[in-house]
Amino acid sequence: MNSATVSFDKRIRNILLKYEILEEDVIEKASSTSIESGRPFTTTLVAMGALSEREIIGIVAREMRIPPIDLDKIEADEAALEVLPQQLANDYGVLPVSKIGTTLTLAVSNPFDIVRLDDLRILTKCDLRPVISSEDAIRRLIDERYNADQREMNEIFEGVIDQPELEFTEDEFDEENIDLSDLSDLSGEGSPIVKLVNLIIYKAVKERSSDIHIEPFENRVRVRFRQDGRCHEAFNLPRKIHNAIASRL
């Protein structure tokens, strides 16, 4: 366990003793088990059935006077996610929740680590409003929120591979039949290929990209967007996807 985890565990033990939330022998047993197993103290408490994850979050929230949050009930805020890259979110174990003006609401599991919060304040150039969640929930949702487009792309591609041969008519590509407003509706019924193209174009327009580059390699296909004269990777997919699409065009 790193020093931040050890410090956090110590603070939790002191709070439990201070308010007599658990018997001292239960706390000591959890503490020794935590050290022996190398698992965090709070994880050990939950495994022992001494406290639930929600109860631990509530205890920390009351002590620090910081509101708790159920991240599963909060929709992703892309403006907030853009402030902090996924790698840094993983490194710091935090999840951007929302951004209003220069105030960034940030889900944290260890609000006692003031140094880490100060670092994030400098990195994001925002005033931070921390809220409390569990480390497990934060880690799980970092991957889910930051990689939503990639996952949706994979699901669409699976539909392309599994779908019977598609036939297109000239009328389907008549410019008069194209409704650009449909690009924002990716959940409706229709050809997986259409959904795929819609998703790529919609994301490119949303990011104010000037070009879309689709680059097949030996084992993968890379989709890149050009912004301000520079290309960046938007999607990275298996090569079999390119073959499946090419066979239908």
Return the domain boundaries, the chain.
Answer: 3-51, 71-145, 147-246
Of residues 1 and 65, which shows the higher confidence score? Answer: 65
**How far is Cα 127 from Cα 220, in angstroms, rounded to an integer?**
40
The correct answer on CATH 3.30.300.160 for the domain covering 71-145 is yes
Q: Which of 70-79, 123-132, 209-218, 230-239 is modeled with the greatest confidence?
A: 123-132
**How far is Cα 104 from Cα 121, in angstroms, rounded to an integer?**
9
pLDDT digits (tens, 9 = 90+) for 140-171: 999 888 876 666 666 665 555 454 444 434 34
- Asked if residue 107 has pLDDT above 90, the reply is yes
CATH fold of 147-246 reads: Beta-Lactamase (3.30.450)
- Asked if residue 55 has pLDDT above 60, the reply is yes
Six-digit token string for 152: 């949706």
Same-fold call for 71-145 versus 147-246: no
Q: What is the pLDDT of residue 224?
A: 87
Angle at 21 between CA 20 and CA 23, to 5 degrees: 70
- Asked if residue 40 has pLDDT above 60, the reply is yes
Q: What is the pLDDT of residue 240?
A: 59
Q: Which of 201, 196, 203, 200 is nearest to 156 (CA)?
A: 196
Q: What is the CA radius of gyration of the chain?
A: 24
Confidence of residue 246 (pLDDT cuts 50, 70, 90): low
Q: What is the pLDDT of residue 96?
A: 97
- Secondary structure string (H, E, C) spanning the chain: CCHHHHHHHHHHHHHHHHCCCCCHHHHHHHHHHHHHHCCCHHHHHHHHCCCCHHHHHHHHHHHHCCCECCHHHCCCCHHHHHHCCHHHHHHHCCEEEEEECCEEEEEECCCCCHHHHHHHHHHHCCEEEEEECCHHHHHHHHHHHHCHHHHHHHHHHHHHHHCCCCCCCHHHHCHHHCCHHHHHCCCCCCCHHHHHHHHHHHHHHHCCCCEEEEEECCCEEEEEEEECCEEEEEEEEEHHHHHHHHCCC
Percent of the chain scoring above 70 in pLDDT:
75
pLDDT digits (tens, 9 = 90+) for 19-36: 999 999 999 999 999 999
Q: What is the pLDDT of residue 60?
A: 95
Of residues 231 and 46, which shows the higher confidence score? Answer: 46
Looking at the chain, how many residues does it have?
A: 249
Q: What is the pLDDT of residue 154?
A: 62
Of residues 224 and 29, which shows the higher confidence score? Answer: 29
Q: Which residues pair with 86 in a beta bridge?
A: none
pTM of the model: 0.65
Q: What is the pLDDT of residue 167?
A: 42
* Helices 148-162, 239-246: crossing angle, 10 deg rounding: 50
Q: What is the pLDDT of residue 19?
A: 92
Q: What is the pLDDT of residue 164?
A: 46
Computed over every residue of the chain, the mean pLDDT equals: 81
Of residues 105 and 136, which shows the higher confidence score? Answer: 105
- Residue type, position 84, single letter: L
